[in-house]
Chain A
Amino acid sequence: MQYDLVVIGGGPAGLAAAIEAKENGIDKILLIERDRELGGILQQCIHNGFGLHIFKQQLTGPEYAERFINILKEKNIEYITNTMVLDITDKKEVYILNEKLGYKKINAKAVILAMGCRERTRGAISIPGFRPSGIFTAGTAQRFLNIEGYMVGKKVVILGSGDIGLIMARRLTLEGAKVIAVVEIMPYSTGLTRNIVQCLKDFNIPLLFEHTVIDIKGKSRVEGVVVAKVDENKNPIKGTEIYYECDTLLLSVGLIPENELSKKAGVIIDKRTSGPFVTESMETNIEGIFACGNVVHVHDLVDYVTLEAKRAGKAAAKYIKGTLRRDGVKIITINGKGIRYVVPQIININNSKEVTLFFRVDNIYKDCKLEVRLNEKVIKSIKKDKVTPGEMETINIDFSKLDIKQDDKLFVEVKE
């Protein structure tokens, strides 16, 4: 089997990337999805709030996905569901598995990685205690409720204030469960402010900052959790323990880009994002292998995933047609003071005179400036009332009037 472009993952990133490549003149495209239907995690996000930036409308997750799925079908882009990619090589050989085709090798001229992310688990954060049933990651619980149609518990404590956890606090409450508290180890939430208001405050669900779950009780099913306040080193403070009787513990403690497959192809992962190092064209270190969406870095708004995916789709089309530039000066972006990471990490201005930088701050800052420097020179400075790690920031940089030399450095910093 031979394709020009293989897109791995049929969520918002994969869908937008495939459509964009098609619109840029690529015909032989195959999009591969492991689940039963296209749309990815959007299909279980039945709340609204999607599409505000792109469609200026409040859509539910499935509605947002449907718009792209319809375009994909209208454009006759080939896709297969229930299909797992088991291996990719740096020669862009993609090994797929499904019930109908069996185990097959596909050769592609270009590959777009759009596998999304997975949730951090109890094991990853080493919560001690028993190992009863009733401990779910928020996304798994969301799937049980919204796709499978089952409730996961009656009295719930949620650890972590990531967006899925906040959304699930409201969802479970509407389903008749009692959400006792949301517990967050950091002094701030990692979720969107609007979700804290709409999902917790509107339902009088307490949010405890600088607290964490230190023990899980119950030998068969969860019977309760012990929560304690933590000190500045995140160690629990003796004497602050609270026992919550509950039958369910939900974890919303972070998302990890899913790059096991990328690594098989030799793609190098940036420790700051847990995703591949990418260029302005969303190309990885392996020529012709692109990446976009949550596999690159975790986004909080799907709209930005779509924008990033379009970049990847367009660039992959250029690559296939042989017009993606490799010559010219390259600069690297650097996360300076107060910034956790910047994407893209490498910029070749021959491919794009205007580049949007995606980045996250590492703490809450009030009345600050977000500053972009080219080496020593400040080229952009944006005033902010408040920035938080829970909300991704973007800055557009126009390179056309700048004097750029090879290996120049572009710093992004928080100025207090």
Chain B
Amino acid sequence: MYDVLIIGAGIIGTSIARELSKYNLKVCVLEKDNDVANGTTKANSAIIHAGYDAKNGTLKARLNVLGNQMFDKLCRDLDVPFKRIGSLVLAFDDNDLNTLHKLYDNGIKNGVKDLYILSKEEVINIEPNVNKTVKAALYAKTAGIIGPFEMAIALAENAYENGVEFRLNSEVIDIKKEDVYVVYTKNEKFKARYVVNCAGLYADKINDMVSKNRFKIIPRRGEYYLLDKSVKLVNHIIFQCPTKLGKGVLITPTVHGNTLIGPNAEDLEDKEAINTTREGLRFVLDTAKKSVEDIPIGMSITNFAGLRARTELDDFIIKEAEDSKGFINVAGIESPGLSAAPAIALYVLDILKSSGLEFVRKNNFKNKRKGIIKFSDLSFEEKNELIKKDSRYGRIICRCEEITEGEIVDAIRRPLGATTLDGVKRRVRAGMGRCQGGFCSPRVMEILSRELKVKMEDIIKDHEGSYILTGPTKKEVD
């Protein structure tokens, strides 16, 4: 019997799990996929928004601004890459200028600090590559960039270390309300006093298992280009003025030094439609050119799409179901969901508290999580010391990102470690570079096979069924 059962191990589920792990509670996270952070969390803009955008008075506005301020400490404690590089919303005409001032006023109302309207000259001075027809920009100093899946993985690892259980490959197929909640997966059932629904795109399905108050999650797809590290286009997160469909196409450096361009916005029915499209990518590129004219798209190293889990409301749905005490929905977490995540976790704790869950602080809570050593960031001396201790740090596996065998082994062996090629990639970036795993994937598979004691043919790329090899070759070539 659990005190709290969390459904979904994305950025929201892991944020809540980690927050709950500070208290003497029995908590379990159920995740349908074979890894944490494998849904919307792994494919988004990776931005920590300042909070001027969401309409004043909404949960989005409040939790974004609160959440934004929590990232410095959180990322220090959890050893997650985060940089407050600031964002610019570019204005190209009078309409846009009007929008800038509205955003500015809204931001001030929301409590966003360090907001400025910059002149054309000031913009070009700090962003020499932006389109010279720019008239002004809204500068938000507090906006930042982050590794979103690194964040969720770190939260999960830290929660795990503090006693939270994680069940991967555990899709919830039914929930029954008896004296407590009974949550069914294919092979198991779990009893819990409280259930927190963080199922992202599937939050409506989970809600339907419990509550009569329905809502519908509408997958809104966003497509992106990722450019090679040798391309340096911008220094800040560059937005255009928002439209009805959202914050529009942005250009931003990533925490790892690539350039990210996207997303578009397209409402779909299919919750698994994470495919990119020719039209979508074309739109992204054409629109981005309004911000920066000269985009070397030949330096693209990959393109990908993510699905925002939005509802018809303009706001997050974070509340206890009215007809089912102890069942808390955390749904419709589209942008600025990542930025708000730490604040959402606190907000959910408040809801649990007012619903009667008793919170007693653990005295042995470990707030620090030790991340995977990043070999390429070490000094000459540090590198040699590390190799002396463990020679596997002397063997580069991923040439493009300079990732050593030592780092990959750590990614596999640590709690909630990687079991797939993409799992390794998300944790240490092997295969994330310009050759996209062309050189290193055979080596990484070999390491996975050795560490997990499974056959090469059984190593998968990502989801179940994503096998890579079909069997040995003929023994003799004719």
Contacts and interface: CB of A to CB of B under 8 A. Distances in A.
Interface of A: 34, 46, 82, 84, 86, 97-103, 118-119, 121-124, 126, 128-134, 137, 139-140, 143-145, 147-154, 174-176, 214-216, 219-221, 236, 247, 260, 263
Nearest to A147: B442
B278 A214 contact: yes
A151 B470 contact: yes
B261 to A, nearest CB: 12
A102 B467 contact: no
Contacts of A216: 275
Interface in B162-177: none
B34 to A, nearest CB: 11
B355 interface: no
B467 A130 contact: no
30 contacts: A34-B399, A86-B396, A97-B394, A98-B395, A99-B395, A102-B387, A103-B380, A103-B387, A118-B434, A118-B435, A119-B438, A121-B435, A121-B436, A123-B226, A123-B302, A123-B436, A128-B278, A130-B275, A140-B437, A143-B442, A144-B469, A148-B442, A150-B470, A151-B469, A151-B473, A152-B470, A214-B278, A219-B272, A219-B274, A260-B400
B119 interface: no
A133 B395 contact: no
B383 A97 contact: yes
Interface stretch (B1-9, B293-301, B328-336, B407-415): B293-301
B220 to A, nearest CB: 18
Contact of B302 (A103, A122, A221): A122
B463 A99 contact: no
A151 B301 contact: no
A133 B394 contact: no
B277 interface: yes
B477 interface: yes
B315 interface: no
B303 A126 contact: yes
Given A128-B280, A150-B472, A221 B226 contact: no
Of the listed residues B274, B298, B439, B456, the one surrounded by the most CB atoms of chain A closer than 10 A to its CB is B439
Contacts of B120: none
B98 interface: no
Nearest to A47: B477
Contact of B394 (A100, A139, A140, A215): A100
A82 B437 CA distance: 18
Interface string B174-218: 000000000000000000000000000000000000000000000
B275 to A, nearest CB: 4
A99 B387 CA distance: 7
A100 B393 CA distance: 10
Nearest to B298: A124
A103 B383 contact: yes
Q: Which 7 A-B pairs have the closest CB atoms?
A: A220-B465, A123-B302, A133-B461, A99-B394, A133-B466, A99-B391, A84-B396
B24 interface: no
Contacts of B437: 140
Contacts of B461: 132-133
Given A128-B281, A133-B462, A150-B469, 5 more contacts: A102-B388, A123-B303, A123-B436, A133-B460, A219-B463
Contact of A126 (B297, B464, B470, B472): B297
Interface residues of B, number: 59
A150 B473 contact: yes
Contact of B300 (A98, A100, A126, A148): A126
B129 interface: no
Nearest to B474: A175
Contact of B469 (A98, A152, A175, A260): A152
Given A34-B399, A99-B394, A145 B463 contact: no
Interface in B432-469: 434-439, 441-442, 446, 456-457, 460-469
B470 A154 contact: yes
B338 to A, nearest CB: 21
A294 to B, nearest CB: 14
A331 B106 CA distance: 64
B225 interface: yes
A144 B442 contact: yes
B131 interface: no
A357 B392 CA distance: 44
B384 interface: yes
Contact of B466 (A84, A175, A220): A220
B99 interface: no
A220 B461 CA distance: 8
A156 to B, nearest CB: 11
A30 B166 CA distance: 51
Contacts of B463: 219-220
B478 to A, nearest CB: 7
A102 B302 contact: no
B470 A129 contact: no
Contacts of A149: 472-473
Given A34-B399, A154-B470, A176-B474, A131 B225 contact: no
Nearest to A95: B380
A89 B18 CA distance: 45
B398 to A, nearest CB: 10
B276 A128 contact: yes
A17 to B, nearest CB: 21
B23 to A, nearest CB: 38
Contacts of B276: 128-129
B402 interface: yes
Nearest to B227: A123
Given A98-B395, A132-B461, A151 B275 contact: no
B471 interface: yes
B304 interface: yes
B467 to A, nearest CB: 6
A140 B477 CA distance: 19
A18 to B, nearest CB: 21
Contacts of A247: 470
B225 A140 contact: no
B347 to A, nearest CB: 34
B466 A221 contact: yes
A102 B435 contact: no
Of the listed residues A134, A145, A148, the one surrounded by the most CB atoms of chain B closer than 10 A to its CB is A148
A202 to B, nearest CB: 14
A131 B303 CA distance: 9
A147 B478 CA distance: 17
A100 B277 CA distance: 47
Contacts of B274: 130-131, 219
A45 B281 CA distance: 36
A216 B388 CA distance: 46
A150 B459 CA distance: 12
Contacts of B298: 124
Contacts of B301: 121, 123-124
A80 to B, nearest CB: 12
Contacts of B472: 149-151
A220 B464 contact: yes
A297 B380 CA distance: 33
B473 A145 contact: yes
B471 A151 contact: yes
B395 A126 contact: no
Nearest to B461: A133
A214 to B, nearest CB: 6
